[in-house]
Amino acid sequence: MLARVLSSAVIGIDAYLVEVEVDIAQGLPTFTTVGLPEAAVKESRERVKSAITNSGYTFPADRITVNLAPANIKKEGTGFDLPMALGILSATGILPEKSISAYLFLGELSLDGRIKPVNGSLPMAIAAQRAGYQGIVVPAENGKEACVVTDLCVYPVHTLGQVVDFLRGFTSIPPQKTDLRAVFDAPDCSGTDFAEVMGQEHAKRALEIAAAGGHNVIMVGPPGSGKTMLARRIPTILPPMSFAEAIETTKIFSVVGMLDREQPLVTRRPFRSPHHTISDAGLIGGGHIPRPGEVSLAHNGVLFLDELPEYKKNVLEVLRQPLEDLQVTISRAASTLTYPSSFMLLAAMNPCPCGFFTDPRHACRCTAHQIHRYRSKISGPLLDRIDIHIEVPAVPHKDLMINARSESSAAIRLRVVAARKIQSQRFQRTKIYANAQMASRHIRSHCRIGDDASSVLEAAIDRLGLSARAYNRILKISRTIADLDAMDHIQIHHVTEAIQYRSLDRARRDH
């Protein structure tokens, strides 16, 4: 007897359909799985056999062959347990073949027949919807995640017996629904706000510009000056996520198994802050079984690298591709995977090894050579890819004693959203979403400046020894500042303010 059950697997962050073919023939009792299964898939035979037996059904004492098609793609994960079990029950006549042909199935089986959650149920639900299937049967813990997909019936199940009774018509399972509007309108419980930051008005202004234009930022200041405090509040002033952004970000978290089961959709921009001991594979992605790294988990959000010079040099250098291409390509002998990585890079560092080079209240004991060697850990090409350099000095005690609250994140966010709206209209016929993504041809078209501003910029380039990339960065920042002022043309004061945000260029020139 031959039975076919539809399932799905993930490659990268997208899913593809997998046809689970089960053939039962006379012969010595064996259970063979073909179609490039990895170790966890091969072990399914033990889980499937025990689950079928412990659920009250008879496991056939015949020769069983399971083929996972397409057979040229390596199959990973435990989500094929349920479709394998249903295929065996269909091939033995317990389940009608017609009943299983309308659904896509996925789920891991425990030995007693319970169905456990799997990773990647959201991209698998998207694949089922695009293929035109009636519905998808998923573990109950994956139900909220899968039913984010509209026009698809999602049936959450707990046990193998429940699925069999449903397919035989003995019981009904109501499709699960999710109120997406309520998910997006849920209040932000992070509790962070720029109103809690005392002083640092210059840094807050620079971060507002960065958020408005999607610019990468590096903050330089002594310990305790508030760099981390400022960084953690950046997501509160970024524009709200669109549904398309939320789906793409949720797919990444779903594939790596980091999605909260009670939160079906990632509606807040991610904030990732890996430790400086992270490896290049942990940051970019990869491994024996490739998986997304921190740059992809920060997609549509913020990647914060604290104590930037403490990261290994090879780890920092691999950031170049995602910063330029907004995606990461991982090549292996068997396949090449591409993960999205459009994030806002936010870095922080001390001005010297001891941290007190610019602090008037503490004496710095570092030599000029030590300071130069410390800062040179960040290569020029990487620094050129960071648009805004901010000096974050120690906050005076008088500013800390002020009881008045600073401007709130909500007020800053209104200006950021207004500036982003101008940019979306400017780039509506392109794939660019913010000024930071402008290429050279866009800069020539949208960042024209007058003769007076051009003279100021030329003098700054000669004095600081800026590269062509840094020159373009200044024009992009000037364009963003003009957008915040709702002005069509870049003025000289926009350019002069933008030049102020290249402080590390001055430091490199001095050395």
Whether residue 442 lies inside any domain: the answer is no
Domain final residue, candidates 375, 399, 423: 399
DSSP 220-285: E--TTSSHHHHHTTGGGTSPPPPHHHHHHHHHHHHHTT-S-TT--S--S--EE---TT--HHHHHE
Whether residue 201 lies inside any domain: the answer is no
Domain count, the chain: 2
Whether residue 52 lies inside any domain: the answer is yes
Q: Which domain holds residue 153?
A: 2-167
Q: Using CA atoms, how far apart are residues 330 and 130, in angstroms rounded to an integer?
A: 26
Co-location of 306 and 232 in the same domain: yes
Whether residue 139 lies inside any domain: the answer is yes
Please say if the pLDDT value at position 505 is more than 70.
Answer: no
- Beta 285-286 vs 103-105: how paired, if at all? unpaired
Co-location of 128 and 73 in the same domain: yes
- Give residue for tokens 């993930």: 10
Co-location of 121 and 264 in the same domain: no
In sequence order, what are the residues at sequence separation of 6 or more whose Cβ sits closer than 8 angstroms to the Cβ of residue 508? Answer: 375, 380, 383, 465
What's the chain's Rg over C-alpha atoms?
28
Give the least confident one: 75-84, 141-150, 192-201, 265-274. 192-201
Over the chain, what is the mean pLDDT?
A: 89
Q: What is the pLDDT of residues 386-428, one digit of tens each?
A: 999 999 988 776 666 666 667 899 999 999 999 999 999 999 8
* Segment 33-56 mean pLDDT: 93
DSSP 311-338: S-HHHHHTTHHHHHHSEEEEE-SS-EEE
Whether residue 97 lies inside any domain: the answer is yes
Whether residue 261 lies inside any domain: the answer is yes
Co-location of 156 and 14 in the same domain: yes
Domain final residue, candidates 167, 201, 235: 167
CATH of the domain at 306: 3.40.50.300
Q: What is the pLDDT of residues 155-209, one digit of tens each?
A: 999 999 999 999 999 999 999 988 888 888 777 767 788 888 888 889 999 999 9
Co-location of 159 and 234 in the same domain: no
Q: What is the pLDDT of residues 87-114, one digit of tens each?
A: 999 999 999 988 898 899 999 999 999 9
Task: Quickly count: other Cβ atoms within 10 Å of residue 314's Cβ.
Answer: 9
Whether residue 70 lies inside any domain: the answer is yes
Q: Using CA atoms, how far apart are residues 391 and 505, in angstroms rounded to an integer?
A: 12
pTM of the model: 0.90
Co-location of 138 and 227 in the same domain: no
Percent of the chain exceeding pLDDT 70 equals 96
CATH of the domain at 51: 3.30.230.10
Co-location of 151 and 66 in the same domain: yes
Co-location of 364 and 284 in the same domain: yes
Whether residue 151 lies inside any domain: the answer is yes
* Segment 262-279 mean pLDDT: 91
Assess contact for 89 and 12: CB atoms under 8 A.
no
Co-location of 224 and 368 in the same domain: yes
Co-location of 364 and 232 in the same domain: yes
DSSP 67-108: EEESTTS-B-SSTTHHHHHHHHHHHTTSS-HHHHTTEEE--E
Co-location of 161 and 214 in the same domain: no
Q: Using CA atoms, how far apart are residues 56 and 47, in angstroms rounded to an integer?
A: 15
Domain final residue, candidates 355, 373, 399: 399
Q: What is the DSSP letter of 174?
A: P
Please say if the pLDDT value at position 272 is more than 90.
Answer: yes
Co-location of 241 and 129 in the same domain: no
